[in-house]
Structure 1
């Protein structure tokens, strides 16, 4: 595998987490209105998603998410060796982006979050958010409309920000990275494991949904 592809996955995930954490800290600095804080965070995240998917998709496929990579592995669109390299780059990139965002806002480079997100409804919400994300990606591929990914994927994330109780993490690398910032977008280590289990459950659910909707020619 070309190192360029691995670096694209690292950089894209790092930029995504810089947006996630940085905009969360900025939002709490600007206002005490939680709804406005969420909106600031959402706008920054989906805008960054549109940018990195558009620019890096031709290089690496713009996964930036271990469950996306695992889905591609299941469909034999990537081999196991390259999938492992992608996932390692995603986790490393997410952590790096979090550290960078913390430092930009004069916070400790690493300070573990105390924000609990452990209720049953959040678990169900993460399964749903991840499943629909996976379904969308695979339907775009199956319908040969993956060129719409920079629009459709951010559109789903925007919708899910306000329509799900878990604020649509839907990404194990993002979830892990958010452990290391005790800020608006943070999550405790214990909660993160619960979220990641939900996301892994959401993967096969999304694949099944996409399969059920696949139009054979």
Structure 2
């Protein structure tokens, strides 16, 4: 239960940071570049803190794709994978509601922001690929703070070089479907994002396995 609470809490804080900072940024200015910068700084800061705080409890996945990869690697039982996913999705839903509460919005709403297109799909594949590759490569080789730094730096960079702004997380993407703020994503777009994120994660795992096996030859 401690692990599930940690996954719920971490995912909730990350989702609240994404949505809350988007609302705050749009309240401040009409400059889209500043919106993106504010959103990125808030998100990666909370991501770093959450990983450092909860890594020793649950592994600090906060992401069904990361949990899927750990299950495929047999580092996580499949029943635990399902429980992690439920905790992460519930956490993201709570985080979306919390962000709305903090800014006096309706607790939950469904986004109408369309994020569609082949470029968006490929962007999410790339963003998730990089994230999972870092997670797999650094899992046992780096201290938690170093791993958190690498993950946060990747997300910070991918915010700006991917056209999707690097969602790279099915649970947080689901939470973002429940906001009508700038951070939102429509249900139709979510149906595009999740397969792209899963594909990116599995490709990263495949490459990691290949590199490890090649190094042993």
User: TM-score, with normalisation over the residues of structure 1?
Assistant: 0.96
Assess if the C-alpha contact under 8 Å between 1:28 and 1:37 holds in 2: yes
Partner of 1:43: 41
Does the alignment pair 1:145 with 2:131? Answer: no
How far the C-alpha of 1:141 sits from its partner, in A, is: 2.2
Aligned residues: 214
Partner of 1:184: 182
Q: Could you list the runs of 5+ residues in structure 1 that have no partner in the other structure?
A: none
Decide which of 61, 68, 75 is 1:63's aligned counterpart.
61
User: TM-score, with normalisation over the residues of structure 2?
Assistant: 0.96
Assess if the C-alpha contact under 8 Å between 2:121 and 2:193 holds in 1: yes
Query: More displaced, 191-200 or 145-154?
Result: 145-154
Q: Could you list the runs of 5+ residues in structure 2 that have no partner in the other structure?
A: none
How far the C-alpha of 1:216 sits from its partner, in A, is: 3.8
C-alpha RMSD over aligned residues: 1.2
Assess if the C-alpha contact under 8 Å between 1:137 and 1:146 holds in 2: no
- Paired with 1:20 and 1:216, the residues of 2 have a C-alpha distance of 41
SS at match of 2:75: coil
Going from structure 1 to structure 2, the CA distance change for 1:200 and 1:23 (only over 3 Å counts) comes to same
Assess if the C-alpha contact under 8 Å between 2:131 and 2:154 holds in 1: yes
How far the C-alpha of 1:160 sits from its partner, in A, is: 0.3
Query: More displaced, 121-130 or 205-214?
Result: 205-214
Partner of 2:18: 20
Pairs within 5 Å for 1:40-189: 40-141=38-139, 144-147=141-144, 148-189=146-187
